[in-house]
Amino acid sequence: MSEQNNHSTVENTTTGLNHRKLLMWAFLGSDCMFFASLIATYLVYRGKSVTGPEPIDLFSIPVTSVSTFVLLMSSMSMVLAYAALTKGNLKVFRVWMLSTAIMGMTFLGFQVFEFRDFTVNHVKIGCEENNAKYTELENKFSSQQKSDYKKQCSEGKKEADIEFGMTPRTNLFGTTFFVLTGFHGAHVTLGVIWLLSLFFYSFKRGAVSADRHLDVDLAALYWHFVDIVWIVIFTVVYLFGVYEGF
């Protein structure tokens, strides 16, 4: 290697790799540990909640499958944006970039919808003796919910409407679930801000260009990482969560 350039040390490094890209990969390795700690917490507390609801009472696999699919496709869109940029095609880059951000926001929309849905969840249970659903849910109910059921039924209703929602405070499942998926959501939010910043920045002449593709490359790496974390969460939290045998 020749003598280092006095004006800039960025391009001329010992390994020939870019400083920022190296940092990004080190960061992603580190972020693995972050999510691992959250996932480990979720897993060791799995099934240890004192009261319900449990995953099976709340999760809707079809809905989450759709949002999972959207996030997967946003990864494709991201990589296509990057490919367009390296070819110098700024217009195509902008289209894919915007669609990535929109898909990211769609995913977040699903998450907000889901979180809200969980907090206001209700169950309707018939009031007849030895109702099958009540027998199933009885040991997940708090004493408040049990007395609520009895009260509503003693009022002569045919069917009791019990609040069976979950917030981070409700039980261990709520705590671990919301904090894990919430921090993933925070990562997605940061990613969307990053992508949109680059999108708007690209309208400034020369600000985003093929020879400055690294700016987009780094955002893309981050975005794909957020996607793979979700791949793990979808399987471990959602699919294994509803599957009783685990």
Q: Which amino acid is at 234?
A: F
Determine the angle formed by the axes of helices 214-233 and 172-201, rounding to 10 degrees.
160
From 74-82, 100-108, 109-117, 122-130, give the range in contact with another protein by CB under 8 A.
74-82
User: For residue 240, with 0-12 CB atoms within 10 Å meaning exposed, 13-18 middle and 19 or more buried, which class applies?
Assistant: middle
Is residue 237 classed as helix, strand or coil in its secondary structure?
helix
242 sits in which H/E element: helix 240-242
Question: Of 94-113, which residues contact another protein (CB under 8 A)?
Answer: none
CA distance 220 to 79: 7
From 12-20, 107-115, 127-135, 148-156, give the range in contact with another protein by CB under 8 A.
12-20
Tell me if 67 contacts another protein by CB under 8 A.
no
For residue 83, the minimal CB distance to another protein (Å) is 5
For another protein (CB under 8 A), the number of binding residues is 88
Judged by CB, which is closer to another protein: 47, or 109? Answer: 47
**φ/ψ of residue 16, rounded to 5:** 80, -5
Judged by CB, which is closer to another protein: 82, or 149? Answer: 82
Q: Is 159 left (phi over 0), alpha (psi -120 to 50) or beta?
A: beta
Tell me if 156 contacts another protein by CB under 8 A.
no
Question: Of 161-190, which residues contact another protein (CB under 8 A)?
Answer: 168-169, 171-172, 174-176, 178-179, 183
Question: Of 190-219, which residues contact another protein (CB under 8 A)?
Answer: 204, 206-207, 210-211, 213
For residue 109, the minimal CB distance to another protein (Å) is 19
Q: Which amino acid is at 76?
A: M
